[in-house]
Chain A
Amino acid sequence: MAVVLETISLVKQFNGVIASDNVSLQIEKGARQALIGPNGAGKTTLINLLTGVSRPTSGSILLDGEDITDLSTHKRVRLGIVRTFQINQLFSDLTPLETIGLAVSERRGQGLDWWRIVGSRPDLVAEVVEILERFHLTDVIDKRTAVLPYGKQRLLEIAVAIACRPRVLLLDEPAAGVPEEERHEILAAVAALPSDVSVLLIEHDMDIVFSFADRISVLVNGALFVEGTPEEVAHDARVKAVYLGEELVDA
């Protein structure tokens, strides 16, 4: 399989503290990869480096072999590196319809279009409706995002990212904080992501990780600790030591 996104010896230091330690990670086309690790292992730092929110101290990031280390966040999004947020980052005064409409029009490069009324392109609206249907948001399209149930907001988080048509999707704990009865809807949405999109899932919930991923990378103290199939990781003695006392897989 072809590697889509790759980091080479990525290092990030904050005032001498090493948050990312020589990380060389590869994400293949169509991957279902999970990134796990204890709190403070540097998962969020790594996401920030991949999306361009912060710059690495050294090392580089390649997309299809092209160096994108110095590109800004919005340019990386245009190239197809899209993320969701662990804590909802939505537009509270906009409706889901407007939010998705915005994301689609930006992706199509029509964001500077200032003379056209929103919604005047039928093909754009059709795409927006299709995304809203796919993520079960049609019953709330006209509600302000701020008043949506939490589960719907989490769905919208993923839907916005999909509207950007990602090639690599970084999912940061998609089901975090979602009540049990709404959880399956999120997980179904994650499972139904297009197969050509490469997904890197950051997750604490091992049930989700092991049901979703075909490859798992374990991050400890900023460094890649172990990588392998779920089977290999589950039976790795070092991983067990790190997650001491935690049951990785239900026997």
Chain B
Amino acid sequence: MTPPPIAVRTATEWLSARARWHPLEIVFWFAAFAAIYLFPARHLILTEIAWLGLFALSLDLILGYAGIISLGHAAFFGFGAYTAALLAKHEIIEEPVLALLISGCAAMALGFVTSFLVLRGSDLTRLMVTLGVALVLRELANRYGWLTGGADGLQGVSIKPVLGVFRFDMFGHTGYTYSLTVLFILFLVARRLVNSPFGLSLLSVKSNPLRSSAIGISVDARLVAIYTVAAGYAGIAGALLAQTTAFASLEVFSFDRSADLLLVLIIGGAGYLYGGLIGAIIFKFMQDYLSALTPQYWPFWIGLALVVIVLVGRDRITSWTTPIRLMAARLNWRALARRSAERL
């Protein structure tokens, strides 16, 4: 009756199975970097995809891993965008990479402060609270026009060369390389984070907060931590937009932006980090293609796609790709089991 013992080495392999690099991941990043040389004419839209992907990755960290739903993630995006634009305009920090980091830190600070508002309550409460925070920020930016440029946006921003060497150009060549590099580095950090004991504890909090606290996890502290990190990611995404377009306007805080972001993540599927990136690719190209076809009505098709995806996903809107990923994981595990059996 007693099941057979198991080797520590096998257990180690199974435990770190989630963290192992899949060949498709390598292909994905190789293709993304190859696009620098292969599609120079598409660098403007690729730049948009890069910062949108980073923005969606940020939402995935809180929604896919910690179960915090948000309709106001643009608050952090916009805060980062204005920070970066203001730093450049007033020549406070001229070097873009340093300004990017500072914008991220500013958004993190905002994320930390507002995280306490999303600790309690249902999904609906969280939707309303996050929505409210973004609305408040937008109105503040509108009200203090002397600082933000108000409804006209922040004009006259000029961005200095990256690291003092790489000058931004109107074709987005520098912009794409810069944005993609930032995205890749932050992706690696996020990948590391979600596959760590900390990341596992986030999954447990999402799955069953009652049990999480019963094994000694301070649920609130973990949620504050990941919300703060995600806000920083969103802020950096916003700063990338501001730097690559040398502009920031009230639109960075808009409700549409937060709602589109949720859409992007749902298209790609939450909870495996690539969902936001894939969603951003699909969303931007669909938008590009459909708006060329029917300039007025492209949201119709996006809306239709959303309805289909949610129906396919049925019980959980955030993970219509779950069955596919579970199958991939099973195949992966089977290979692992075979290998460990061969060793014995």
Please report A residues at the B interface, Cβ cutoff 8 Å.
51, 72-74, 77-78, 82-83, 85, 89-95, 97-99, 101-103, 105-107, 110-120, 122, 125-126, 128-129, 132-133, 136-142, 160, 163-164, 185
Stretch at the interface among B74-82, B141-149, B201-209, B243-251: B201-209
Closest Cβ of chain A to B89, distance in Å, is 35
Asked whether B210 is an interface residue with its Cβ less than 8 Å from the other chain, the reply is yes
Q: What is the bound-complex CA distance between A186 and B210, given in angstroms?
A: 23
Contacts of A133 in B (CB 8 A): 5-6
B19 in contact with A117 (CB, 8 Å): yes
Asked whether B217 is an interface residue with its Cβ less than 8 Å from the other chain, the reply is yes
B211 in contact with A91 (CB, 8 Å): yes
Instruction: Assess A111 versus B198: contact at CB under 8 Å? Given A139-B3, A141-B11.
Output: yes
Closest Cβ of chain B to A103, distance in Å, is 5
Instruction: Assess A115 versus B12: contact at CB under 8 Å? Given A137-B3, A138-B5, A139-B3.
Output: no
A113 CB contact (under 8 Å) in B6, B197, B218, B333: B197
Asked whether B34 is an interface residue with its Cβ less than 8 Å from the other chain, the reply is no
A102 CB contact (under 8 Å) in B2, B12, B195, B197: B197
Closest Cβ of chain A to B327, distance in Å, is 13
5 further A-B pairs in the complex, CB-CB below 8 A; given A133-B5, A136-B3: A118-B19, A118-B200, A125-B11, A126-B8, A142-B333
Closest Cβ of chain A to B339, distance in Å, is 13
How many A-B pairs with Cβ below 8 Å?
A: 151
Instruction: Assess A119 versus B214: contact at CB under 8 Å? Given A113-B196, A138-B6.
Output: no
Asked whether B16 is an interface residue with its Cβ less than 8 Å from the other chain, the reply is yes
A114 CB contact (under 8 Å) in B15, B196, B215: B196
Within 8 A of A (CB), among B276-293: none
Instruction: Assess A125 versus B8: contact at CB under 8 Å? Given A74-B216, A77-B213, A142-B14.
Output: yes
A117 in contact with B196 (CB, 8 Å): yes
Q: Which residue of B lies closest to A103 (CB)?
A: B215
Interface extent on B, as a size class? Answer: 35 or more
B15 CB contact (under 8 Å) in A93, A101, A113: A101
Q: What is the bound-complex CA distance between A110 and B198, given in angstroms?
A: 8
B6 in contact with A129 (CB, 8 Å): yes
A94 CB contact (under 8 Å) in B4, B19, B207, B217: B207
Instruction: Assess A106 versus B214: contact at CB under 8 Å? Given A91-B207, A91-B208.
Output: no
Q: What is the bound-complex CA distance between A163 and B333, given in angstroms?
A: 25
Instruction: Assess A117 versus B195: contact at CB under 8 Å? Given A125-B15, A133-B5.
Output: yes
Can you list 14 pairs linking A and B with CB atoms under 8 Å apart?
A74-B213, A77-B213, A89-B208, A89-B210, A91-B204, A101-B15, A102-B215, A112-B225, A118-B16, A118-B197, A126-B8, A132-B11, A141-B14, A142-B337
Contacts of B8 in A (CB 8 A): 122, 125-126, 129
Q: What is the bound-complex CA distance between A105 and B18, given in angstroms?
A: 17
